[in-house]
Amino acid sequence: MRRSWLCLVFSAWVCVTSGVQAQDFPNKTIRIINPFPGGPTDSFARLIAGKLQAGLKQAVIVDAKAGAGGTIGVAAAAKSPPDGYTLLITSASTQIVQPVVRKSMPYDAEKDFIPIMATGGSASVVVVHPSLPVKNLREFIDYARANPEAVSYGSSGTGTALHLAGEVFASIAGVKLQHIPYKTAAQSMTDLLGGQVKAMFDSPNNSSPQIKNGKVKGLAIMGPERLSVLPDVPTTTELGMPNMRFTNWLGVYAPAGTPPDIVERMIKILRPAMNDADMKEYFERSGMPPSPLFGQDMAQASRVQRSELAEVVKRAGIALLD
């Protein structure tokens, strides 16, 4: 009986202290961990930091923690105190792709985080170096079939969305490609521009400037609709390969256990901020639909996407990573 009473007292104390912490929030700098510095996630993180800083009247900084396909930064966020002072901005790579393609993970993508918001999905773009003797997607597939593993493609790390987009492409096209992992998408693009790798299955945000200036060739959008940022690049659906699809998105999370009123306060700041001109311009440039998800809607969509991707991986026969 005494044990039960002590448990009740302790539970009440936790609730009271959590409420006090939430009422005092924020009274110090807020940190946003970004596991993918130097690419599209970086610019998104800085936009979100600005919105939260303006709404919370407190400094918000972006803390880059790259490595291991983003899992180093995500694991650090998962282990951070759940007090609202540490957030995570990451992509489907770490929250959807890696939990599906890896045998073990240093965090639980669903249980270790509270979803705050996610962008709409952005289809990957098939881009190649101009030195490849191909003019379109069909010629690229034919070339890769005729030259097994001679075509190398870069990504932002093993197990990331850019990696799996290439695996999905190779499986559906029936080709063998050589995967070259980098720490960031920006590093991968640098080597694509230099010809060290011959292809990428990239985000529109990262690749569209290079496609427009003619430094790389954009062969196809891995989705059903053309992108306004790349109106001349056809879709895989148009080219007769409707199953060759891959989308990525960016999301904002808090560590599990963060007080609900702090999470809700952030959602209330970010929901209207998505209609700001700079956010609309970012979505347009990234090829992302201006339809972000918040809270539990984001959580449910993630569960569905994770299940669908697991089926794709199984059907494509993609080997799980250690």
Residue 309, domain CATH: 3.40.190.150
Peptide bond into 26 cis (omega under 30): yes
Q: How far apart are CA 64 and CA 295, in angstroms?
A: 24
Q: What pLDDT is stored for residue 286 in this prediction? A: 82
Q: Can you give the residue range of the structural domain that contains 111? A: 28-121+249-316
Q: Is residue 13 part of a domain?
A: no
- 3 state SS for the chain: CHHHHHHHHHHHHHHHHHHHHHHHCCCCCEEEEECCCCCHHHHHHHHHHHHHHHHHCCCEEEEECCCHHHHHHHHHHHCCCCCCCEEEEEEHHHHHHHHHHECCCCCCCCCCEEEEEECCCEECEEEECCCCCCCCHHHHHHHHHHCCCCCEEEECCCCCHHHHHHHHHHHHHCCCCEEEECCCHHHHHHHHHCCCCCEEEECHHHHHHHHHCCCCEEEEECCCCCECCECCCCECCCCCCCCCCCEECEEEEEECCCCHHHHHHHHHHHHHHCCCHHHHHHHHHHCCCCCCEEHHHHHHHHHHHHHHHHHHHHHHCCCCEC
Question: How crowded is residue 88: how many other Cβ atoms within 10 Å of its Cβ?
Answer: 28
Q: Is residue 5 part of a domain?
A: no
Q: What pLDDT is stored for residue 320 in this prediction? A: 83
Q: Which of 220, 247, 274 is the last residue of a domain?
A: 247
Q: How far apart are CA 93 and CA 163, in angstroms?
A: 9
Q: Is residue 184 part of a domain?
A: yes
Q: Is residue 113 part of a domain?
A: yes
Same domain, 235 and 271: no
Q: Is residue 242 part of a domain?
A: yes
Q: What pLDDT is stored for residue 21 in this prediction? A: 53
Q: Which of 247, 266, 294 is the last residue of a domain?
A: 247
Same domain, 82 and 105: yes
Q: How many domains does the chain fold into?
A: 2
pLDDT in tens, the chain (322 residues): 444 433 433 344 444 444 445 678 999 999 999 999 877 789 999 999 999 999 999 999 999 998 888 999 999 999 999 999 999 999 998 999 999 989 999 999 999 999 999 998 889 999 999 999 999 999 999 999 999 989 999 998 888 889 999 988 998 999 999 999 998 888 999 999 999 999 999 999 889 999 999 999 999 999 999 998 999 999 999 999 998 989 889 999 999 999 999 999 999 999 999 999 999 998 888 888 778 999 999 999 999 989 988 887 887 677 788 7
Same domain, 58 and 139: no
Residue 126, domain CATH: 3.40.190.10
Q: What pLDDT is stored for residue 57 in this prediction? A: 97
Q: What pLDDT is stored for residue 8 in this prediction? A: 38
Q: Which of 231, 247, 263 is the last residue of a domain?
A: 247
Same domain, 218 and 240: yes
Q: What pLDDT is stored for residue 17 in this prediction? A: 43
Q: What pLDDT is stored for residue 22 in this prediction? A: 61
Q: Is residue 98 part of a domain?
A: yes
Same domain, 42 and 58: yes
Same domain, 64 and 96: yes
Same domain, 268 and 188: no
Same domain, 144 and 239: yes
Same domain, 209 and 266: no
Same domain, 133 and 235: yes
Same domain, 57 and 127: no
Same domain, 136 and 218: yes
Q: What pLDDT is stored for residue 160 in this prediction? A: 86
Q: What pLDDT is stored for residue 174 in this prediction? A: 93
Q: What pLDDT is stored for residue 3 in this prediction? A: 43
Q: Is residue 256 part of a domain?
A: yes
Q: Is residue 52 part of a domain?
A: yes
